[in-house]
Structure 1
């Protein structure tokens, strides 16, 4: 829900005190919830990179008194426009008219997204001497930069000391210089000159130092002086090509005169601020679309990552782990790369003996029929795929909802339930279906099929859209199961109750609560839920720093 104009969403805390008392047999049952905290995520949280908007997602760790303890953006990547850009401009006497140069600077910098977290600009002018017109970060908005550029006056000079100017600009971009260089920023120098350098003996060293500092260099040869006097520019062009980073076709420009600088504005801007490259991998990640708490960290599903094939990210006190899609071997073939599997749409885990955990992640659009992958993920991000389950019907959204159950309460997972809420009956109605798998952590076959749950004959029920383990309702010593069917009873919804039995559940439901009467049916269950934290709850101790 949202209550503000920007539709960012809200989370409400609702009191559950209905006046009903419950006498728990556990001495700690009435206190277990008092020191627990919550996690809430906004997968559509976005940030701007220039004119583009990227939905990386955000998660917030909420304290026991509903206060925000920490906010993280687990899949955040800096913009490709996070650039320290230095314009190194020849202002010697041979440049004419100077207004064409400042017009060029205004036109190119007008296209730059200047601001915190994006691009900052500095300008160095040189001739016989070298001077900073303004330093990196000195002007923090586009308007400020454009005004400063418009005020630059040509300094003149009989010499063109290009090597010295490059060295000065390189030092300005250095993180330790105190002149505005930023950690992680892409360093770019654009050299604009109309003649060979008078300090070319130092040029090799200046260019080599830039290369060593991972500075990208664009070089623009202005041929006005040569063309006006009929001088062969070959030697000059050779020097400018040497300054430009490789390959020359991407980093070297030459124009007939100062007025022609305007013709390369678009091409130069596109090359400097291209949003291609690695940014696209997580730019639409929507991290936090799903989440699941592990013993040693927090799993977050990022369904929009890797062009909507999806990803699973693990956050722990040591940082983020994001396995590459190739880490899952042949589970996601290259030929299906453009099919938008939505891996990470649902998350879960299986708990084995000794507290060992196996990660579960659903990809309901994989090959149109859905898939669930079970795997281990170590502290270094290495993935070991144990087993994959594949849906039987196209469009069923198999794997969109996962639930591991500890039926007998011994702390180990007994069952895995995988929902396909859009599973269609023979008459093409979305009845839904929930698949049962017995968990056997000691066997080569981790998950063994054990039948399925189906709703009572109902049209478009979407049975399985919600699954939750609930504490023992019928007092037989085994935990029970509730299955939601939100479209049943003319979209009023229904809740199905299944009783646990040893390490499994009865395949036939014992009770169905229609939407109109579900409050009375589930009141006892709600009281029990308040007294016990279910497996997989997205809550944790307030003093535990491992998850958010």
Structure 2
């Protein structure tokens, strides 16, 4: 008006043609205004950039400092050096292709502030053109003039020469420029050991290195390792591999984007700025708890990039808080021309007067089948705006529509009466430019990703163009029907969209009588009941009406024909159609119930379903109402049985459970096959309903059967599967009512294959009782081991009586065989070592048994060993001091272990017995020991003791033969015989002489 004060506003000197006022927004609390101008040009060397600024104006028309305070700098400088492989392994044609690749890549960078150098390496390195001498205007001629050198491949030395001589101020390198080296090679280098040092030297001068491997040589891991050493980290961004020089063009775009990334760069390099970013293209205020309002300025059409200290490269907007600019990271990716930030909208979802969300649109973001996105950022009370912007935090339009979804954004009041404000999103180019507006409902966690409604231009009025190009930021009641209205702009028209009335509908079902009697034993006579169905509809206006079609289904959880309630025989559903107004209306339905005692704890679940159809009102426009989504259209109404629990109708039962093992105090696996468990349950006070007794038993037990001793019991048992969970037997007791002063008993028969200790748990279960009993029973596994005498044991030796220095070699061998499960076994071997004070063995300390440890000797039990040996001739541990050997091992099923006792038996112990002629038995014994808490020896008797095996070696003693008497007698006899012969000869000669 004529009396309105004028604002004298002086643009900054650099704010020429800034289009000040192109976007404006108001703080609803302070009434301050934010005015933005997003089109400030800035002339740089290679491009004209466009930035923007915003100014906050208070109620006194005072203009505050601009945001941001200054414009972004022009894009930075870059120095690039090419190092080409000119070794003999590269043929002439491929070398020419490499030069073509260099020329093409240089051509892509001409518009930027970039200088180039080209060097070639083989057995030596030649710098053909440095950063001073390379002329971009004559680039093709200079690169074409390079001729191939041939020779070896000394990559490391060449890299060092380029680092030292090319990237120096004397050769044209600029101090603030980003430095890049591109190494192209077709094979492994001859000085690979120096590559790491060369790379470190380049790293020290902040030179970013790209390695391009050409050919099959890089299929080996060692060659690839060389490329990774040459290149900067990470290798995934700096190493390229192609099959041939002809394929170099395939990586040109990727390499270009790596050198001048569109989205940003790592901290080691510099990114190209988004030259067309325009701060202030849109703006919004965010009321915050306990703080001054915040303002957000969006940048478009392509937001500028903020370099981060982490590897994620993100878009940025500006957040103003008390005059301080805070960067908001909002994107982990970027698409050129997406117009991210074209619309910014702050939204209070939960109606607490404080903003909960910031919505940022990118209406020209393109997917395969749609165009436009809206990103959802959350606002925390003190930490500010959090913009992860993943798929879960993004709104999109319908597939197949390139409609520039997100061109306009507007917060809406709670349209569907669910307690959360809603959102409108415009897509003006949908349906060939007719346009659409999407409605998204708010939720407790933010905004629903699924649209609740889509309003197409053709649904509103024919001939509209660009419907949804703009949407009013406030929803006033323009039609005076107590409902919010929405103004939507299109080409040449503004349309007012009215809200439909939202109603809530409550359905209620009651029964008469309210409980089913249980005093009837015979359930063949049906009981009569009445269901009363009531509907109550509420809303803001008074002339709402609707048509309701409802269906009442009785005992809905039972399948036909097993349902217990019915309207008429074989029919349990009844349908009715009514016209409902804003007062409660009720309708009665008669039905019948088959009330059987066994169902007394299973209530009838009855379902009420209805459909809603709003009828036109009498108000102008005749809008019909819609049903609130918070009003369920399907409800369940139970009808239960009477529970007789005294005057207070509160059952207090008292169950006692106990059980015992009826055969023995332990389980002997492999000997005992079955465990008998007797369980008893007693009800000692009021009736107990739906009572169970549960017996739990560990893995290894298998339920066999149960026997009812008293009462009515039904059991279901499931053994352990995979040794993970316990086996369980669940038995119902006098179902459904376990009456007062009743008792049930049952016996379980359970097959065994058990762990060392069995834990049984028995408990009763009812709604009012949780008594339990836990008992343990020990488990022992049966084992069966046989100890035998080996055939190669010495069975007989002999000694001459009276000689104490004789020795005979003796071997006694035991064999132990296991015929059952594996277990830790100890074999105990006792060997007689000393009789009286005389050693039995020539070297008693040398008696060792392989695999055994010798323990302390065992003293004999007999004190007078001479008398005992003269009687029974057994040299064993009862008369002799015995060596004890403990042989520990884990013996598996069907394993055989042998234990050998070998040594020279001495004769010195025999003389003290006092017998010159006798036979003795040298007796060694073997038995087994084991963990007797875990194992039990299987035997035919009831003692279950392990065997004792003995090995006897017979030792015979005989007197020494006296040859002296025999010789003397022989000589005397010979002389007498000679005398007789001589006398006979003389007589014969004499008689002959006489004759």
TM-score, reference length from structure 2: 0.29
User: By percentage of residues, which structure has more strand?
Assistant: 2
Structure number with greater Rg is 2
Q: Which of 1 and 2 has higher RCO (CA within 8 Å, sep 6+)?
A: 1
User: By percentage of residues, which structure has more helix?
Assistant: 1
TM-score, reference length from structure 1: 0.47
